[in-house]
Structure 1
Amino acid sequence: MTSERKPLPFIANFTAGAIAGVSEILTFYPLDVVKTRMQLDTGKSKHGLVGSFQTIIKEEGVGRLYRGLVPPLLLEAPKRAVKFAANDFWGKTYLQFSGEKKMTQSLSILTGCSAGATESFVVVPFELVKIKLQDKTSTFAGPIDVVKQVIRKDGVLGLYAGMEATFWRHLWWNGGYFGCIHQVRTILPKAETPQAQLLNNFISGTIGGLVGTMINTPLEVVKSRIQGGSKVPGVVPKYNWTYPALVTIFREEGAAALYKGFVPKVLRLAPGGGVLLLVVEFTLGVFRQALGPPYI
């Protein structure tokens, strides 16, 4: 029975998460660039999704849609590996502590939040470099130049600007994503074929990505503002801590500003969540077949 098969080794979860992350980012990266541009705009949005794409291509060229791609590519393997490995670790830990034999909705949410919090510590420097390169006003020559200038100006800890906002962003997104996946899987018809199982994974992952994005977009806006800004000696940054910054943006720009970049973000992370889960499950299936019993 499926429930009795032996859990796959860590290297299998690590590899599956890495392959899935790289596949997702190569497919959807231009949407991430547009999302960041919209979130860094502190005024009233002048362009929607299509207008932002057109403006970037017209004024800066198609290549600009892939500026900053190197840091997330370098990050995706360890980030996704940490996400799924941490989800596996925390899931087993909470099952043991709770005495439950099967994952419940509340345990799925708790597991996802814990995995997201764990993941956030890995991603901050890479996210900072990416945001700096994606900014329209960026004059950095490339990722290494960003790292050098940030360290020269703010020290090594400068690479961790936005750590607190990133922590909350990942905690809430993962809680919504993994919790929703568990719930949707219980609703979908039982898969009788491998193709049906892949479809179920894509559907549950897509819905999980949508819910996670709806929950964490305001935190993403704050994170982009914190990481995109420049520190001035002796001046307290306007956007510094997550929840006070949410209040500031709401008060000055209205509730809609907290969802700037939502459309490109959800267009990336909803189907992206589906692609992510689909590739992970497919890759794990390949490992199970290769290793044979008792993993199948």
Structure 2
Amino acid sequence: MATQTANVPAIEKSKNAKPLPFRYQFAASAFAGIFEILVMCEFNTKPILMRLIAKNVESVLDCFRKMIRNEGVLRLYRGITAPILMEVPKRAIKFSANDSFAPLYQNLFSAPTLTQPLAILAGASAGATESLVVVPFELVKIRLQDKTSTSSYTGLVDCLVKVIHQEGPSALYNGFEATLWRHIVWNAGYFGCIFQVRSKLPNPSTSLNPRKQKTVNDLSAGFVGGVVGTTLNTPLDVQKYASAFPKFVVVAREEGFRALYKGYLAKILRFGPGGGVLLVVYSAVLYVFGKAA
């Protein structure tokens, strides 16, 4: 099993290099999150797939082309504020928490280098931490998207205030168990896969163009990690039941195994490339911070 001396998503460092402080990791994560949302989030797979199903377009590329021609470039970024406010905190925690847990587990288990089991454990721990931040935002997003309740709120802040005032602060964590397992599974698959894929790719330090090779490695590892993480957690993403594992069994029994993967294609189109973009930008920003520090 291959090993490496750096934190999973960070730029490769020399043996004597120290990880950047948490504030740098958090800032790099937040920047990567914003960039990924600007690139990916408004290329929303749902309207694209609806148009494809309606046979109004020949392909995804043709769909984008016609959307831009008929509705303008800004159509791709309509409503971008809410996704940034709700999704960036999640992405900021994802990488910074993973990069904090990785050395913690290395010290705890007296491991001289990061191994894949530790990479998976660090990713799962990052997912658990991420879920603490994500659940309130997920609740607000669902309330604002639900046609039966959206008219009750004027916006994100109004929804947050009303939920706390009318239902109490604990209401923000309704559905925490299901969200917890989804993020644990996704992040464990994502970061564990990144570690494994990186170990199989050419070492940037031996390349004629280290930065280019690093970018190719990150894009490849992040893409594969996003696909694997999404494949693993999609069955847990069924919103019909509050508890993760009972709903997993119930849906499989009542609707069949394929029902657990409803919307899988749309998620892969979103989170595969998105996983690659996240890792590339996070690594690049950390590299800049490292040079300036």
After TM superposition, the score normalised by the length of structure 1 is: 0.78
Report the alpha carbon displacement of residue 146 of structure 1 after superposing the two structures with TM: 2.7
Q: Specify which of 18, 23, 34 is matched with residue 46 of structure 2.
A: 34
Q: Which of 259, 268, 272 is residue 274 of structure 2 equivalent to?
A: 272
SS where residue 18 of structure 2 aligns? Answer: coil
CA distance in 2, matches of 1:53, 1:172: 35
Q: 2:28 — aligned with what?
A: 16
CA contact (8 A) 2:202 2:213 kept: no
Residue by residue over 1:121-170, the C-alpha shift from the partner in whole angstroms, topping out at 9 and shown as x without a partner, is: 01111111112323455434322343344345532222212111110011
State the partner residue of 1:38. Answer: none
CA contact (8 A) 2:225 2:275 kept: yes
Match of 1:287 among 264, 286, 289: 289
Gaps of 5+ in 2: 1-12, 57-66
Equivalent residue letter for 1:182: F
Q: CA RMSD in A?
A: 2.8
Amino acid of the residue matched to residue 41 of structure 2?
Y
Task: Pick one of 144, 151, 154 that aligns with 1:133.
Answer: 144
Structure 1 residues not aligned, in runs of 5+: 36-46, 226-238, 292-296
Mark the CA change 1:174 to 1:53 in structure 2 (over 3 Å): closer, same or farther. farther
1:240 aligned partner: 242
- The secondary structure found in structure 2 opposite 1:4 is coil
- Could you say if the C-alpha distance between residues 6 and 240 of structure 1 is closer, same or farther in structure 2, counting changes exceeding 3 Å? closer
Question: What is the 5 A alignment of 1:1-296?
Answer: 2-30=14-42, 34=46, 50-51=52-53, 69-135=80-146, 138-139=150-151, 140-151=153-164, 153-191=166-204, 192=207, 193-222=210-239, 225=240, 239-291=241-293
Q: Once the 2 structures are TM-superposed, how far is the Cα of residue 32 of structure 1 from its aligned partner?
A: 5.9
Change in 2 beyond 3 A, CA 1:257/1:160 = same
Whole-Å Cα distance in 2 between the matches of residues 197 and 81 of structure 1?
A: 21
Q: Distance in 1 between matches of 2:224 and 2:214?
A: 15
Which amino acid counterpart does residue 166 of structure 1 have in structure 2? T
For 2:242, what is the secondary structure of its paired residue? Answer: coil
Deviation at 1:255, TM superposition (A): 1.8
**Aligned 8 A contact 1:69 1:130 in 2:** no
User: How far has the Cα of 1:241 moved from its partner?
Assistant: 1.3
User: What SS does the aligned partner of 1:273 have?
Assistant: helix
Aligned partners of 1:68 and 1:134 also within 8 Å: no
Aligned residues: 260
Matched residue type, 2:142: I
**Judging changes above 3 Å, is the alpha-carbon distance between structure 1 residues 123 and 179 closer, same or farther for their aligned structure 2 residues?**
same
Q: Which residue of 2 aligns with 1:41?
A: none
Mapped contact 2:45–2:269 kept (Cα < 8 A): no
